[in-house]
Amino acid sequence: MKHLLSITFLALGSVVGQQPSTEVFKDPEFQKRFMGSYGFLPDVEPSIDTNDEEERAYFLSIKELLAADNMAALKAKLQQDINPELSNPALIFMLANIWFQEDNNAEAEKWYQLAIKRFPSYLRAHKNLGLVYFRLGDNTKAIESLSEAVRLGDHSAQTVGLLGACHMGNENWLAAESALRQAVVLEPEKKQWKNSLLKVFFESGQYEAALGMVEPQLRENPNDDKLWAMKARALMELGRQEDATVAFETLHHMGKATPQILEILGAIYMDQEKPNAALKAYTAAAKGSQKLKGSSVLRTANLLFGYQYVDQAKRYVSQLRPRVKELTPAEQLELKTLEAKIARLEGNVSRAMTTLEEIILKDHLNGDARIELAQLYENLAREAEEETKKAEHYARAQLYFDQALQIPDSEALAALRYGQMLVRKSDYIKAVPLLQRSYRLRPKDEVDQYVKRVERAARQQEAKEAELKKAQAPLPGTKKDEEGEKEDDA
């Protein structure tokens, strides 16, 4: 069951905060700050020579174009006038900004690098170059540029937050946590930083810290289904299944539980030995799926049956029946095989046989159906009072076992079940090679132990047969021995 939880639990990964995407550039706050980057920071950036009348006039004309939001004219003017080797680096930076706004990453990168070459401590050129690399998905280069901006004095939430996001993308969890914590301190209301920090906590196994972040947010936003899902995940990771169940049920009642989450809930209830609650969750998962997923519904049905919750397995399969055509032909036959198993356990032998024979007619390589038929005939043989009927049923069982042994997918199980039938008939000697064959094909500790017990029984059986044969042999000099000698002479 723990293995099943670990598989289905992957569905919760999507609810944890992901690395911020380039959507961050559409944030009004970002755009406001970016437009502000057309200004000047004299301590760490190139300044205007106030004694140069021509330069002052030129920058005044630039300012007027910026004030009029005439970016097309500004771009044309800068492209015409800039001399990469002589112009003020601030003008080069402005042109890079325009390319950035036009999503031309190659030109933006080129001009930001030129601005930095001309003025190595150009803080915002380093930062904006980092934004270019972030947009390109190159976390390593983005980290280098953004870190330089921080070193030069930019400790804004935006810069350290994006730096943390880049470290997160490179799975540098400690560095990511440090930067994102700082971003959360600077902008505590911004979900982007909180969600990113939550992802770091989950990915680095800090589930108590994750829970500590989620619960205060849930008190403020009790209807946030993503927060409930994250709480459930943290609780599951901490081994607090009972509390996780409450979180999952809350999602269910909110109508926000996905089929994958409902399957997790069902698995939890199975782990807690609550089959009816599990059935309810599994049924809701199937109902919520636009199209039945064969691997999922078959796993669930076989799980309920395997845990001997036969009634729940029967009800689950029955509720799937109207949608069975959503499954592949092979999946439909597997479901019918399970129905036959259920019928067998319920004592409805004729129905089980009819179903299995239908399956074999449709699928000549269906070993599972043959194994089921063999077991049905074995049961009939054990219940039969007439020796002729008993022998007939055992012969049919052996026939279906022999057929299943020829099918690779069912060979291991057929050998095991065939061997077990022979053990029940006390035919240990014939059972041993079949059981050994099953173990070779599919090694399991419990099968190994079982084989060893049967081998001991077979050795004892062989010894007894040898003793009996010896006891029945005529003694030398007896009448039977003389008669045997005369027959030999003749």
- How many domains does the chain divide into? 2
Closest CA to 212 of 189, 242, 184, 235: 235
pLDDT tens digits along 261-289: 999 999 999 988 999 999 999 999 999 99
Q: How far apart, in whole angstroms, are the C-alpha atoms of residue 247 and residue 12?
A: 13
For CA atoms 472, 475, 480, 485, give the dihedral sign: positive
Judgement on whether residues 344 and 407 belong to the same structural domain of the protein: no
Structure tokens at 321: 């029946």
Of the candidates 206, 243, 210, 204, the one whose C-alpha atom is nearest the C-alpha of residue 227 is: 210
pLDDT tens digits, 215-267:
999 999 999 999 999 999 999 999 999 999 999 999 999 999 999 999 999 99
Q: Note whether 203 and 177 are within 8 A (CB).
A: no
Same-domain pairing of 434 and 355: no
What is the DSSP track for 358-420? Answer: HHHHH-TT-HHHHHHHHHHHHHHHHH--SHHHHHHHHHHHHHHHHHHHTSGGGHHHHHHHHHH
469 with 400, same domain: the answer is yes
Is the model's pLDDT at 311 over the cut of 60? yes
Residue 424 lies in a domain: yes
Cα–Cα dist 48/55, whole Å: 7
Cα angle 113-115-121, degrees, rounded to a multiple of 5: 95
Task: Say what the pLDDT of residue 466 is.
Answer: 87
- The verdict on 283 and 353 lying in the same domain is yes
Rounded (10°) CA dihedral 290, 297, 7, 217: 40
Task: Give the separation between CA 147 and CA 294, rounded to whole angstroms.
Answer: 49
**Of 343, 364, 385, which residue constitutes the final position of a domain?**
364
At 11, the pLDDT band (50, 70, 90 cuts) reads very low
Greater pLDDT, 24 or 237: 237
pLDDT at site 471: 82
For the cut 90, the answer to whether the pLDDT of residue 470 exceeds it is no
Q: Establish how many alpha carbons lie within 13 A of residue 264's alpha carbon, considering only the half-sphere containing its beta carbon.
A: 29
Q: Domain containing 280: what range?
A: 273-364
pLDDT of 51 above 80: no
345 and 283 in a common domain: yes
Contact 307, 267 (CB under 8 A): no
Whether residue 277 sits in one domain with residue 359: yes
How many Å separate Cα 88 from the centre of its chain? 54
pLDDT on residue 487:
52
Domain assignment present for residue 84? The answer is: no
CB-based contact 161:192 (threshold 8 Å): yes
Residue 326 belongs to some domain of the structure: yes
Residue 297 phi, psi (nearest 5): -70, -35
Q: Report yes or no on 349 lying in a domain.
A: yes
Share of the chain above pLDDT 90, in %: 70
Is 328 within a domain?
Answer: yes
Residue 243 included in any domain: no
429 occurs within a structural domain: yes
Q: Which long-range contacts (CB under 8 A, 24 or more apart) does 454-457 make?
A: 454/419, 454/423, 454/428, 457/423, 457/428
Is the pLDDT reported for residue 6 higher than 50? no
* The pair of three-digit structure tokens given for residue 374, joined into one six-digit string: 């063999």
10 Å Cβ neighbour count for 443?
10
Could you tell me the two tokens for 370?
């043959």
- For residues 420 and 462, membership in a common domain is answered with yes
User: Are 284 and 359 found together in one domain?
Assistant: yes
* 485: confidence class by pLDDT, cuts 50, 70, 90: low
Q: Note the pTM of the prediction, 2 decimals.
A: 0.65
Check residue 489 and give its pLDDT.
53
Write out pLDDT tens, residues 370-385. Answer: 999 999 999 999 999 9
303 lies in a domain?
A: yes
Instruction: Say yes or no: 335 and 286 in one domain.
Output: yes
Instruction: Return the structure tokens found at 141.
Output: 């280069």
Are residues 359 and 290 part of one domain? yes
Percent of the chain predicted with pLDDT > 70: 87
Report pLDDT digits (tens) over 172-228.
999 999 999 999 999 998 989 999 999 999 999 999 999 999 999 999 999 999 999
